[in-house]
Amino acid sequence: AQSVSQHNHHVILSEAASLELGCNYSYGGTVNLFWYVQYPGQHLQLLLKYFSGDPLVKGIKGFEAEFIKSKFSFNLRKPSVQWSDTAEYFCAVNAGNNRKLIWGLGTSLAVNP
């Protein structure tokens, strides 16, 4: 069965630190990849997505993610986090003909000012 794994469940950083959140999926074919963010008290928002083309994808608020097919990974990065980045981050994968989005369990990020 297809699955998505987010290795870091809780991350605590200080402002200006660099961020990398891991996401790995299990599917050998064509995938569409997404990162969503859920700020406290707010709804899920799309951060960025990858369908095809350049494996380095830039999203909103300075986030980017790199699709590495050989590693089945789609890690999220930001060079310098801010307190306002405190949120829960979800990786999701849509694989093959199965149109269901498969979700990771999320990573809770806390940024200390």
Partner 1 sequence: KAGVTQTPRYLIKTRGQQVTLSCSPISGHRSVSWYQQTPGQGLQFLFEYFSETQRNKGNFPGRFSGRQFSNSRSEMNVSTLELGDSALYLCASSLFIGLQETQYFGPGTRLLVL
Residue 62's SS3 state is helix
Query: Is 68 near partner 1 (CB under 8 A)?
Result: no
Nearer to partner 1, 51 or 83 (CB): 51
Query: Is 99 near partner 1 (CB under 8 A)?
Result: yes
Number of residues near partner 1 (by CB under 8 A): 21
Query: Is 11 near partner 1 (CB under 8 A)?
Result: no
Do the beta carbons of residue 87 and residue 96 sit within 8 Å? Answer: no
Query: Is 106 near partner 1 (CB under 8 A)?
Result: yes
d(CA 85, CA 38): 10
Q: Figure out which of the listed residues 16, 51, 80, 82 binds partner 1, where binding follows CB under 8 A.
A: 51
Residue 65's SS3 state is strand
d(CA 78, CA 65): 9
Smallest distance, partner 1 to C-beta of residue 95, A: 12
